[in-house]
Chains A and B, each alone.
Chain A
Amino acid sequence: MASTRQSYVGEAFSTVSGDDRQGISLEDGSRIAVVGGGPAGSFFSYFLLKMARTIDLDVAVDIFDPRSFSNCGPAGCNHCGGIVSETLIQILAAEGINLPRSVVQRGIESYVVHMDVGSVAIESLSGEMRIAALYRGNGPREGGESSWESFDGYLQNMTTDMGAKVVRQLITGVDWRDGYPWLQFADHSETRYDLLAVASGVNSNFINMLDGSPATVKPPRTTRTFVCEFKSSQAELMEILGNAVHVFLLAIPRLEFAAIIPKGDFATVVMVGEDLDQELVHEFLNDPVVRACFPTDTTPCVCSCAPLINLKARSRPYGDRLVMIGDSGVTRLYKDGIGAAFRTAKAAASTAVFQGISEQAFESRFWPACRRISNDNAIGAVMFASTGLFKRFRFLRRIMYSMAAREQQKANRKPHMSSMLWNMFTGSAPYTEILLDAMHPGFIGHFGWNLLNPIRTKVKQKKVELKKAE
Chain B
Amino acid sequence: MGKGALGTVFKDGEFIIRQGEQGNCMYVVQRGKVEVRQHGDGGEQHLAYLKPGDFFGEMAVFEKEARSASVKAVGESLVLKVDKKTLLRRITEDPLLAVNLLQVMSHRIRDLNELMAHYQSGSE
| A interface, CB within 8 angstroms of B | 5, 9, 51, 87, 89-91, 93-96, 98-107, 126-130, 132, 234, 264, 343, 346-347, 350, 369, 372
B101: which A residues are within 8 A, CB to CB? 94
A130: nearest chain-B partner, CB-CB: B6
Please encode chain B, from 59 to 101, with 1 for each CB lying within 8 Å of some chain A CB and 0 for all others: 0000000000000000000001111001100100110110111
B53: which A residues are within 8 A, CB to CB? 96, 98
- Whether B103 pairs with A9 at a CB distance below 8 angstroms is yes
Known: A90-B87, A372-B93. A95 touches B100 (CB 8 A): yes
Number of A-B contacts defined by CB within 8 Å? 92
A-B pairs with lowest CB-CB distance, top 10: A101-B4, A104-B4, A93-B28, A90-B82, A107-B6, A128-B8, A90-B86, A107-B5, A93-B80, A91-B90
Known: A90-B82, A104-B5. A9 touches B30 (CB 8 A): no
Q: Which of B1, B3, B5, B100 is in CB contact (< 8 Å) with A94?
A: B100
- A101 to B78: give the CA distance in the assembly, Å: 11
A129: which B residues are within 8 A, CB to CB? 5-8
- A102 to B28: give the CA distance in the assembly, Å: 18
A148: nearest chain-B partner, CB-CB: B4
B107: which A residues are within 8 A, CB to CB? 5
Q: Which of A51, A91, A105 is in CB contact (< 8 Å) with B4?
A: A105
- Whether A350 pairs with B82 at a CB distance below 8 angstroms is no
Known: A98-B30, A98-B53. A130 touches B80 (CB 8 A): yes
Please encode chain B, from 17 to 55, with 1 for each CB lying within 8 Å of some chain A CB and 0 for all others: 000000000101011000000000000000000001101
- Whether B5 pairs with A101 at a CB distance below 8 angstroms is yes
Interface assignment of B106: CB less than 8 Å from any CB of chain A: yes
Known: A9-B99, A101-B3, A128-B7. A94 touches B93 (CB 8 A): no
- Whether B93 pairs with A343 at a CB distance below 8 angstroms is yes
B103: which A residues are within 8 A, CB to CB? 5, 9
| B interface, CB within 8 angstroms of A | 1, 3-8, 26, 28, 30-31, 52-53, 55, 80-83, 86-87, 90, 93-94, 96-97, 99-101, 103, 106-107, 110
A93: nearest chain-B partner, CB-CB: B28
- Whether A350 pairs with B96 at a CB distance below 8 angstroms is yes
- Whether B106 pairs with A5 at a CB distance below 8 angstroms is yes
Distance in angstroms from A245 CB to nearest chain B CB is 14
A-B contact pairs, 9 of them (CB 8 A): A5-B103, A89-B6, A94-B97, A98-B80, A102-B4, A103-B4, A105-B4, A129-B7, A347-B94
- A89 to B101: give the CA distance in the assembly, Å: 16
Known: A96-B100, A98-B52, A347-B94. A106 touches B3 (CB 8 A): yes
Q: Which of B7, B93, B97 is in CB contact (< 8 Å) with A95?
A: B97
A134: nearest chain-B partner, CB-CB: B4
B5: nearest chain-A partner, CB-CB: A107
- A129 to B99: give the CA distance in the assembly, Å: 27
- Whether A94 pairs with B28 at a CB distance below 8 angstroms is yes
A90: which B residues are within 8 A, CB to CB? 80-83, 86-87
A90: nearest chain-B partner, CB-CB: B82
Known: A5-B106, A90-B80. A98 touches B28 (CB 8 A): yes
